[in-house]
Amino acid sequence: MVRIRNLHFGYSRKRPLFQNLDLTLERGHIYGLLGKNGAGKSTLLKNIVGLAFPQAGTCEVLGQPAAKRLPAVLADLFFLPEEVHVPTVTAAKFVAHTAGFYPKFDHDALAHYLSEFEVPAEAVLTSLSYGQQKKFMIAFALAANTSLLVMDEPTNGLDIPSKAQFRKLLASSLTDERCLIISTHQVRDLESLIDTVLVVHDRRIVLNADLGELAERLTFATVAEPDGLDLYTEESLRGAQVIRPNRNGVPGRVDLELLFNALVGQAPALTQYLANNQPTHEPAL
Amino acid sequence: MSQHFSLSRFARLFSKHTAEYGGGYLLATGVLIGGIALVLGFIAFMGGGPLVPDVQGVIFVMGLLAAGAFFTSTVFAPLGDKRQATAALMLPASHWEKYVVGWLYAVPIYLAVYIGCFFLVDALVLQVEGKFGPKAPLVVLFSNETHLYFSLLVYLVVSAVFLWGSIFFVKQQFVRTAFAVLIIVVALAVLNMQLVQTLLGREVSNAVPLSGMSFQDGQNWYSVNLSPAQNSLFMEIMLGGLLLLGWVGAYVRLTEKEV
């Protein structure tokens, strides 16, 4: 679906954002892309969809170079940016003039999504609030039914009930034929939604792991006193939050926020542990 | 389906563009009609005489070029805005189809609308003017006496340059393109003067870029020029080259556009 090899990219040659970045994304997954502000999440997504061009290396989507922006690829790819643009037409008119570009567009699904989000179809899009505009575009993106759906900070601007609706609709829209990539810096928004976590940090992907596998290999807990065998420790008001090897093999809940903090902070024990216990897919650390 | 051009996909794109920008274009057409009426009306009723075809022709050409340059600057200007650029570039249509939609609005549609509006307003003004005094004839666009239609060819070149500017610059496209043209013309004039003086080894009075020059030797003035036929051919080649450069440059820039 997405195949990136030796990607070099930076807005300035002197300060590259990515160096020798490799990444393969497959159908049937919801990928959560995490990273600090300025780490390059949006830039990586732009490279994937063809809005930014690699300085070196290759970035292929659906078997074609993303930078070519071929209509056949674009018809099976939908990119929802963090800040959406809507024209000064009604939602119905927008759909009438745009849905035809997407061969698998599902009008019934759109009606359902708009109903769930409570977005009026006859309203002029620019007269809607920003949150409503974003919900409309999310509904349109899901209804486009493209094989690849890329969303950059989709929950920004949504109220709390809408975030829950978003998670529900997104989870229901995943099929074996689709690949969903969602970037966010609000880690909590993605918990219970994604099945694979990608962490971009320090010009590379530092984690590309299945959440189920992580749950089998790691234990996340809050303890009174950390011990010397913990892979990562973080002080909190409730005690010490720790990441430990999962000794009993019973999968628990993955604390994405703690894991993220560990990966972008100094946690050599954790990185060493994950590197020595490589799962079957690539590239984890 | 072709990845370069598909008629059905192009028709869909043109229809979408028209639906989303049609309101703005209609508003702009209203402003254009108002502007033409204001200028023609002012000159007709304050000029103290009939609005002769020569004056109509001058106003036609000035309006054509000024309004056209301004309008063309807006054609790809949305690509300067990241949100709009993302929506436009991600739409499943080829670069060529997106370019042709912009080009159609910048050239044939604009020309049709401008010419229609101008002659409609001009005829009305002359009609009204005729009620108060002698009535002047309407200027003829395709006349071998005035050659007013040459201005359409000049418009193609001006439009090509501003079309390129509309996608090359990310904001204030009209002002920046006009300023860039001014800088290039001045730089060309200065460099041409220096080059000619270096080649001749003497000072020259004037040397128009890509044209003739004159200089004084004692009490005698000398002027060096191409023959009218050669000059005409040279101008055609130069303007044709500029036209292609603008159109091709705008297309290439569209394919290279990043957000």
Give the per-residue pLDDT at B211.
80
Residue A14 counted as domain residue: yes
d(CA A17, CA A11): 8
Percent over 70 (pLDDT), chain B: 100
d(CA A58, CA A66): 9
Give the per-residue pLDDT at A277.
65
Closest chain A residue to B10 measured between Cα atoms? Answer: A101
CB contact A92 to B (< 8 Å): no
**Chain B partners within 8 Å of A126 (Cβ):** none
Considering A167, A201, A235, which residue would you say is the last residue of a domain? A201
Same domain, A245 and A189: no
Task: Look at B112 and B205; give whichever has higher pLDDT.
Answer: B112
Please count the residue pairs, one from chain A and one from chain B, whose beta carbons lie less than 8 angstroms apart.
71
Specify the number of domains making up chain A: 2
Specify the number of domains making up chain B: 1
Residue B246 counted as domain residue: yes
CB contact under 8 Å between B259 and A69, yes or no, is no
Closest chain B residue to A78 measured between Cα atoms? Answer: B90
Name which of A69, A93, A100 is nearest B89 (Cβ-Cβ).
A69
pLDDT band at B45 (very low <50, low <70, confident <90, very high): confident
Same domain, A25 and A73: yes
Q: Average pLDDT for residues B152-179, to the nearest whole number?
A: 97
pLDDT band at A268 (very low <50, low <70, confident <90, very high): confident
Complex ipTM over 0.95: no
Residue B216 counted as domain residue: no
How confident is the model over A7-37, as pLDDT tens digits? 999 988 788 889 999 999 999 999 999 998 8
- Element (H or E) spanning B256, and its range? helix B228-256
Contact between A254 and A267 (Cβ < 8 Å): no
CB contact B95 to A (< 8 Å): yes
User: Which string of DSSP letters, residue by residue, matches B129-140?
Assistant: HHTTSPPPPPP-
d(CA A43, CA B134): 68
Residue with tokens 């229809």, as numbered in its chain:
B15
d(CA A20, CA A255): 29
Phi, psi of A95 (to 5 degrees): -65, -45
Share of chain A residues as helix, strand and coil, in percent rounded to the nearest 5: 35, 30, 35
Same domain, A96 and A215: no
pLDDT band at A284 (very low <50, low <70, confident <90, very high): very low
Residue A206 counted as domain residue: no
How confident is the model over B109-151, as pLDDT tens digits? 999 999 999 999 999 999 998 888 888 899 999 988 889 999 9
Residue B118: domain span: 7-171+226-256
pLDDT at A281 over 50: no
Q: Average pLDDT for residues B67-85, to the nearest whole number?
A: 97
Same domain, A13 and A53: yes
Task: Report the alpha-carbon angle A154-A160-A165, nearest 5.
Answer: 65
Q: What is the largest CA-CA distance in chain A?
A: 62
Residue B178 counted as domain residue: no
pLDDT at A107 over 90: yes
Name which of B19, B82, B87 is nearest A93 (Cβ-Cβ).
B19
Residue B249 counted as domain residue: yes
What is the pTM (predicted TM-score) of this model?
0.91
Q: In terms of C-beta density within 10 A (0-12 exposed, 13-18 middle, 19 or more buried), how is residue A194 classed?
A: buried
Phi, psi of B119 (to 5 degrees): -70, -30
Question: Of the candidates B181, B176, B205, B175, which has an alpha carbon nearest to the alpha carbon of residue B193?
Answer: B205
**Chain A partners within 8 Å of B94 (Cβ):** 70-71
pLDDT at A279 over 60: no
Contact between B250 and B166 (Cβ < 8 Å): yes
Considering A201, A223, A245, which residue would you say is the last residue of a domain? A201
CB contact A79 to B (< 8 Å): yes
* Inter-axis angle of helices A107-117 and A160-173, nearest 10: 160
Residue with tokens 């009026």, as numbered in its chain:
A120
pLDDT at B15 over 60: yes
Contact residues, B window 36-65, toward A, CB-based 8 Å cutoff = none
- Distance from chain centroid for Cα A75: 20
Task: Look at A285 and A94; give whichever has higher pLDDT.
Answer: A94
CB contact under 8 Å between B90 and A78, yes or no, is yes
Residue A268 counted as domain residue: yes
- Report cis status (omega within 30 of 0) of the bond before A283: yes
Q: Average pLDDT for residues A213-242, to the nearest whole number?
A: 87
Instruction: Tell me the shortest Cα–Cα distance from A50 to chain B, in angstroms.
Output: 8
The mean of the pLDDT values for chain A is: 90
Give the per-residue pLDDT at A227.
81
Among A47, A61, A69, A147, most B C-beta atoms within 10 A, so best to mutate, is A69
CB contact B87 to A (< 8 Å): yes
How confident is the model over A32-75, as pLDDT tens digits? 999 988 889 999 999 999 999 999 999 999 999 999 999 999 99
Same domain, A77 and A51: yes
Residue with tokens 């993220």, as numbered in its chain:
A260
Give the per-residue pLDDT at A104.
96
Residue A281 counted as domain residue: no
CB contact under 8 Å between A101 and B9, yes or no, is yes
pLDDT at A223 over 60: yes
Residue A282 counted as domain residue: no
CATH of the domain at A123: 3.40.50.300
CB contact B224 to A (< 8 Å): no
Residue A114: domain span: 2-201
Closest chain A residue to B97 measured between Cα atoms? Answer: A71
Residue B211 counted as domain residue: no
